[in-house]
Structure 1
Amino acid sequence: MNYALCMKSTFLLGVFGLLVADRNACFAQCKETVSPSNNKKVHYHIVPLSGAKEYLTLTKTGEERVLNYHNDEFGQVYHVQMFTEIKFSSVKGNFSLYTTISSTDRSNWQSEFVLSTPVEPKELEKMKGTAQIEILLPDDKRVFKIDPKKNQLLHKAIACMH
C-alpha cells in the first residue's frame, strides 16, 4: 500500500515539475512581431521602469540590437537635435549609451517620447548586473533603481538578444 502511494506521489511531483518547467519556458520566450517597413521578424522584450508609461525595450532584428527608452507622459518638446545619455551603473562595469533627440512635434495623438540607440553584445553583458539607470535629458534627469524583479526582466530581455 505504501509503495503504491509513494509511486503516485512521485508521478504527481514529476507532472507538477514538468508543468512548472513548461510555464517558465513560456515566460522566458521573447515577444515577436513583424516589422511593417521591411517585413522582417523583430524580437523584443519590455522592462518596466516606472509604471506602465515608462519602460525600456530591447529589440533585435537580424544582427541589429536596439535599446529604446519609452515615456508616454513626458511633457517636453524639443525643436533642435540634442545629444542625450543613458547611463548604466552595473556591477559588471558602468557604461553609457548615447542617442540624439530629434525635433519633436508632439500632440495629443502622438504622446509617446522614445530614445533609441544601438547596443552591442559587450554592453548587453554589462547590463546583467545593472543597479541603476539614468536618462540624462537637456532639462531633466530620470533615475531608476533596478530591483531584483526588474533585473530578472532585464536578464530575460538580454537573453532575447542572443
Structure 2
Amino acid sequence: MKILHLSGFLLLFAFHTAHAQCQEKISRATKQKIYFQDVILSGTHEFVTLSKTGEEKIFTYNNKLIELIFHVQTFTEIKFTSTKGNFTLFTTASNRNFWNSSFTLSSPVTPEEMEKMKGTVKIEIILPEETKIYSISSQKNKLLNKALQCII
C-alpha cells in the first residue's frame, strides 16, 4: 500500500513539475484549464505558442503586426526544418478581422511532430501574400523544447 501511495505521489509531483513551468488560463468556452508557453520569434509581436487542453495539443503562430491585405480561409502551410526530420503543418484556422489586427494560425500537433520539433532550426510560414522565414537559434530551440515539455 505504501508503494502505491508513494508512486501516486511521485506521479502527481512529476505532473505538477512539468506544468509548473507553463502558463495557465481557463478557457471561456469550455471552462477547462489550458497550459501554454510562448516562444518569441521576432520582437514582441511575432511568436509561436504551444498549448494543451486535456489531450489536445495545438501549435499556434501569432503575429500582432502582420500586413496582409487579404487572407482566405484556405490551407496555410507551416514548414519545419529540423535535425530530427522535416515536416509540415497545414492549417485552415485563421483568426483575423477588421477590429483585431492580430493574426493567428493554429494547427493540432501529433506526438511524432512534437518529437521532430525538438530539433527545429527553421520555421517557414507560407501565406498567400508573403513567406515568413524564422531561423531558430540554439537559444530559441531551448525555449521551444521548454514549451514542448509544457504540453507533453
* TM-score w.r.t. length of structure 2: 0.83
Q: Distance in 2 between matches of 1:80 and 1:142?
A: 17
Q: Secondary structure at the match of 2:143?
A: helix
Percentage of pairs with the same residue: 48
Q: Secondary structure at the match of 1:153?
A: helix
After superposition, residues 33-52 of structure 1 pair within 5 angstroms as 33-52=25-44
Equivalence for 1:60: 52
Equivalence for 1:123: 113
Distance 1:35 1:137, change over 3 A: same
- How far the C-alpha of 1:58 sits from its partner, in A, is 0.4
Equivalence for 1:136: 126
Q: What do you get for the CA RMSD once the two structures are aligned?
A: 2.0
Q: 2:22 aligns with which of 18, 30, 40?
A: 30
Equivalence for 1:78: 70
Q: Distance in 1 between matches of 2:92 and 2:85?
A: 23
Conserved 8 A contact 1:88-1:127 = yes
- How far the C-alpha of 1:81 sits from its partner, in A, is 2.0
Counting strand residues as a fraction of each chain, which structure ranks higher?
2
Larger Rg: 1
Distance 1:146 1:90, change over 3 A: same
Gaps of 5+ in 2: 1-16
Letter in 1 for 2:35: H
* TM-score w.r.t. length of structure 1: 0.78
